[in-house]
Amino acid sequence: MERSQINEILLEGDRFIRSFGYVMPPFAYWTPEEMRSRVADDAAIIRQARLGWDITDYGQGKFDELGLFLFTVRNGSVDDLKAGKGMLYAEKIMISRENQISPMHTHALKAEDIINRGGGQLVLELFSSTAEGSIDREAPVEVMTDGRLRKLKAGDRLSLSPGESVTLLPGQWHAFWGEGGDVLIGEVSTVNDDLTDNIFAEPIGRFSQISENVEPVHLLVSDYDELL
């Protein structure tokens, strides 16, 4: 992706988020220069927890078809999660555009509530795992949706209207996209580790390859290691 495209998506996404009354934390609007000036102080925690903007096309170069807009608002540590005490949770706000697929994947550690916060329908395709951890294309899937246990066939599609949510446990495979419009998505989960805890059905990347044709409006989490 070109940086100019990322900048445009970021600004459009911020407007979409604000249209639903969701207000981003102050560090969302720090310039790259301000992030760099704070990296030895309060930005160190933001970098370590990988909080902030995340726009991905999964390395495939077709964001409108295969992509996701994310902002990590808060995040604990994997060490705390393994110890069973401390900050064991994370929160994200995301945008899935109409017919834009977030590809089939699962997590080894993270349990997550995926919440339709507004816009169109959020549609998820769901599978269980085999004993070896791969997609089980025969076994049924059981998920909680707002206090209700739902039993689905392998590969069934679950449609969530605004206000509805689904709880996905480690090992439950899922892909999702918006139907009938772009969708604002909330995610509340155990600690999030995007570097190692995303297992994709196909051999694709988690982050975009960026061509630096203009300066960034704000840094992405994938920029931190190189640009901070």
Q: What is the pLDDT of residue 41?
A: 87
Q: What is the pLDDT of residue 182?
A: 98
Q: At a CB cut-off of 8 Å and minimum separation 6, what does 33 contact? A: none
- Enumerate the β-bridge partners of residue 90: 75, 189
Q: What are the structural domain ranges in the chain? A: 3-227
Give the E-state strand segments of the chain in sequence order. Answer: 52-56, 68-75, 89-96, 102-106, 112-129, 135-136, 141-145, 148-152, 157-160, 165-168, 173-190, 199-200
Of 3.40.50.300, 3.20.20.70, 2.60.120.10, 3.65.10.10, which CATH number belongs to 3-227? 2.60.120.10
User: Measured between alpha carbons, how far is 12 from 7 in angstroms, rounded to an integer?
Assistant: 9
- In the chain, the N- to C-terminal Cα span, in Å, equals 20
Structure confidence by residue, pLDDT tens digits, 85-111: 999 999 999 999 999 999 999 999 999
Cβ-count burial 28-53 (b if 16+ within 10 Å, e if not): bebeeeebeebeeeebeebbebbbbb
pTM of the predicted structure, to 2 decimals = 0.96
Q: Would you call 71 helix, strand, or coil by DSSP?
A: strand
Least confidently predicted of 21-30, 36-45, 174-183, 194-203: 36-45
Q: How confident is the model at residue 40 (pLDDT cuts 50, 70, 90)?
A: confident
Owner of token pair 């999964």: 58
Backbone angles phi, psi at 199, to 5 degrees: -115, 110
Backbone angles phi, psi at 49, to 5 degrees: -85, -5
